[in-house]
Structure 1
């Protein structure tokens, strides 16, 4: 645990030096306020920039609820543009060190491959969730300001379930980083696999039980409060994450 803690702190220090905390938090903040603005002022935006010709807007359409806007923010902004940028930000976490020789230097110390991989997983997950949480909370307060109250406790539970999905995505990048030498290919494969899993998870709730994207289904049900959260949906992402780390540990030992 001591080695994991030291390597974890190194990851955080590197993120501070590269101002990753700053630019990534700013990026998710911009994404977080974009959706509420669009939902609230769409008609005004169209009138001032694109015109209303050929566009029909139902004047009797009900105003969306705060939780619906928050869901649109995550499904339309964070899980698309946000996820791509996030993966790009950590896709070279192992391959760059492997190619530069830093990884070999680390393994000359009394550090196991599992400790090294675990520190990468936890470090990048922590960095990602700090930045996502900053953008999410700003989005939350801006949304309830525009659309009405929504429980902060329920939103934090949603964010917790969402963080499980992010942890799994990072574990994919960790796995492919031990197999593929190119950081770019690691990013592309991670993005494609994440998108496929999200699409499969949308087919039906039963299938979500066996997919890591079930964490997203659980987070969505928490946000919309359709029914009591099915905590069994947390099992698949945890199991797949553990498998990813185990396989990554096997591959990294072969190098």
Structure 2
């Protein structure tokens, strides 16, 4: 029993991982659910449109008018909702969202199923006291619970996909951030080059001088308009200071 269920659930899981049209799967499941809802209301003595509208809203999150409350009308409204979601979010993004919902729900429900089967294995032995075959009881209860698990996965994911709302918000221009990053990069490069050049100049200067030297003037400084020290009688700037 466990091996059969495990094989089936993992085959379904693998199919969902490679399915590129999960919205189609969701829509098919939605149609089955809608058909079940209308079949349920057909057997009521006094079917109420208000109750039917509430059922559709609680299941799919779609507020429909009474004119749309036919099986075909509900299917069309749900298909329109999926189409709009694909247009807003993109088919690939919507497909990834649905895939995540399926995988998350499958993994959670399968763990619950394993715990149920483990507890059932212990419980069915007590039924042998009532002249019942424990193995038969285990198979019946195990597969009934498994069928309920599959229905729960299908219904939960379908309902969540239709109830989710796609919102398109304003986004900054795509080139704004790269430009800013490029300017910061250029600034960093410029600072690095400046630091590198300063380091090189300092190293070259240290190499030439070896150590710092203090220069002391032995004679007073001669102004350019002062008499030339050579005794020519001319101003310093017109004599010895001409080339300085």
Normalized per residue, which structure has more helix? Answer: 1
TM range (shorter): under 0.3
Bigger relative CO (Cα 8 Å, ≥ 6 apart): 1
Using structure 2 for the length normalisation, give the TM-score.
Answer: 0.26
Using structure 1 for the length normalisation, give the TM-score.
Answer: 0.25
Structure ID, larger Rg: 2
